[in-house]
Amino acid sequence: MNKFRIATRLTLGFGVLLLLAIVAIAYALINARNNAQAMQELMDRPLAKERLVVDWNALLKVSIARTSLIARSTDSTLATSFAEVIAAGVKKANETTKKIESLLSSDEEKKLFGEIQQARATYIAVRDEVFKLRKSGKDELAVIEFEKKFLPAAQHFEAKVAELLAMQRKTIDDTCLAIRRSGERHSQLAIALSVLLLVLGILISYRIAISITAPLKTAVLVAEKVAGGDLTTTINHHAQDEIGGLMRSLGTMNDALRDIVSKVKTGTDAISLAADEISSGNTNLLNRTEQQARSIVETVIALEQLTSTVKLNADNTHHADSIAGEAAEVAIKGGAVVAKVVETMHSINASSKKVVDIIDVINDIAFQTNILALNAAVEAARAGDQGRGFAVVATEVRNLAQRAASASTEIRELINDSANKVKAGTHLADEAGGAMDHIAMSINNVKQVIGEINLASKGQRTGIEQVNHAIIEMDNNLQQDSDVVEHAAAAAQRMLAQSGQLASMVNIFNTGD
């Protein structure tokens, strides 16, 4: 059973009990239904037939009594007085007879009912004969007919009806007996099922309780041993239920705790050894700390001297930065003047080009004048004596044009030479301007470098001051560390004592080692 989980066991156990209870309840319900059906059938047929037969028998007795009264009475009008009552009785008897016939089921009943019908027919025939004789005034014959035929027929008819009534009552008694016996059987079976349900419930509950409590007792014993320091218990439990899982977990816990205690024992020994080493190491650390403190004091002195040197260097750098700034301003102003000279040279060069253009125009005019004078001389030669004066004028004009052309050529050569010199001066001015710009840029770069050196010197000064401050703090920290080392040495001694106490506490556990 332990291979099933507790929830499965409980579900199966209570499921079986519930199933048996359902079977018992279903059986009881079926039994009650069968009994109800049997009672209903008893009410529908045997009991109904019995009541109808009783009613029929009562009508028959009334009819016999009425017929006897009419037959033996001296009153001839009595039959007429009872005519309606007799007709109503006959009608009711016919209705009752039809109802009884519709309810008949067995062959025996049908056979007996047939005999009753024959007896009834004989009875009715004799009764009608008696009534007929009575109506006709034959009283003596009516009495004789009544005594000799009617009474035997009525007795026979009544006996057959009584036999049918007895048959119906016997059927009712048999049905009631069968129902009672069936109820007794069902009651006995219900009691047996209840006893079986009780026994199985006790057995299943006991088995489930044992399967749960027995492993729990084992788990409690293991826990008590662990609480007492005994870790040597070996737990082997192969059940697949929750208790099995608990036992395996206890086994795992026991093994893990045994390993932990073993490691703690080993650790306490290591702690004791480490405490000794820490104590000796703290002593050495204290000596080295004092030596380092002396070294830091010497470093502080050297840093103070270095701080003074860096401060002087920063002051010189600041002065050089001022001088470089002034030189940069002068170079910038010189560059501006050179730029103006360059601009003037460019203007002169442009004006020279314009003068050359004007001289070219004058040279063209002299050339054209020379051509015109030549043409005029030719025309004057053609004119002869009349054109001699004009030829002289043309010759003079030609001479003037030639001298103007010569003069313009010389002026052009002079202006070209001046333009070349101006162009060379402009080029030199451009180079001078570029050089001045380069000088100004170089001076600015020098100023920037000196500024960066100045900033770096300030940064070095600040850094050295911070280093100096940090070393002072290191000195203070070393002094504090020295105190800490002394405290650590004392703590190591206390840890050694505590490790001894821990070892004595762990030794109460029995790990089997």
Q: From residue 404, how far is each of 355, 376, 390, 416 by CA, in Å?
A: 16, 18, 21, 18
CB atoms within 10 A of CB 276: 13
- Tell me the CATH number of domain 6-220, given options 3.90.1150.10, 1.25.40.420, 1.10.10.60, 1.20.120.1730: 1.20.120.1730
Cα dist from 356 to 124, 344, 345, 353, whole Å? 183, 19, 17, 5
The upper half-sphere exposure of residue 125, i.e. CA atoms within 13 Å in the direction of its Cβ, equals 9
403 has pLDDT over 70 = yes
The pLDDT of residue 400 is 81
What are the b/e assignments for 240-254, b being 16+ CB within 10 Å? Answer: ebebbebbeebbeeb
pLDDT higher than 60, residue 350: yes
**Are 299 and 481 a contacting pair, CB within 8 Å?**
no
342 pLDDT exceeds 70? Answer: no
Rounded Cα gap, residues 144 and 150, in angstroms: 9
Q: Cβ-count burial of 328 within 10 angstroms (0-12 exposed, 13-18 middle, 19+ buried)?
A: buried
CA atoms of 381 and 283, how far apart (whole Å): 140
Q: What is the pLDDT of residue 466?
A: 78
Report the topology of domain 287-506.
Answer: Helix Hairpins (1.10.287)
pLDDT band at 417, cuts 50/70/90? Answer: confident
Residue 502 pLDDT level (bands cut at 50, 70, 90): confident
For the chain, report the end-to-end CA distance as a whole number of angstroms: 37
**How high is the mean pLDDT of the chain?**
75
pLDDT at 419 over 60: yes
Residue 252 pLDDT more than 60? yes
H runs (alpha helix) in 73-150: 78-81, 83-103, 107-135, 139-145
3-state secondary structure of 189: helix
Confidence (pLDDT) at 286: 64
**Whether residue 293 has pLDDT greater than 70:** no
453 C-beta neighbours (distance < 10 Å), count:
18
How is the chain split into domains, by residue range?
6-220, 287-506
| Rounded distance between C-alpha atoms, residue 404 and residue 398, angstroms | 10
| Phi and psi, residue 199, nearest 5° | -65, -45
Highest mean pLDDT among 21-35, 44-58, 73-87, 157-171: 157-171
* Torsion, CA 312, CA 313, CA 314, CA 316, rounded to 10: 90
Q: Of 113-127, 142-156, 307-321, where does mean pLDDT reach its minimum? A: 307-321
> In the structure, what pLDDT confidence band is assigned to residue 337 with cuts at 50, 70 and 90?
low
- What phi and psi, each to the nearest 5 degrees, are found at residue 482? -60, -45
Beta bridge partners of 510: 230
Identify the band that residue 54 occupies on the pLDDT scale cut at 50, 70 and 90: confident
Mean pLDDT value of segment 84-111: 83
DSSP letter, residue 233 = -
Q: Is the pLDDT of residue 454 over 80?
A: no
Distance CA 244, CA 113 (A): 80
Query: How big is the CA angle at 410 (ends 407 and 415), to the nearest 5 degrees?
Result: 120
Among the ranges 127-131, 157-161, 286-290, which has the highest mean pLDDT value?
A: 157-161
Q: Are 3 and 215 in contact (CB under 8 A)?
A: no
Per-residue confidence (pLDDT) for residue 275, from 0 to 100: 64
Question: With bands split at pLDDT 50, 70 and 90, how would you rate the model's confidence at 237?
Answer: low
- Chain CA centroid to CA 335, Å: 78
Question: Which whole number is the average pLDDT over 116-126?
Answer: 88
The closest of 66, 65, 62 to 79, measured between CA atoms, is 66
CA 313 to chain centre: 70
| pLDDT at 44 exceeding the cut of 70 | no
What local confidence, expressed as pLDDT, does residue 376 receive? 75
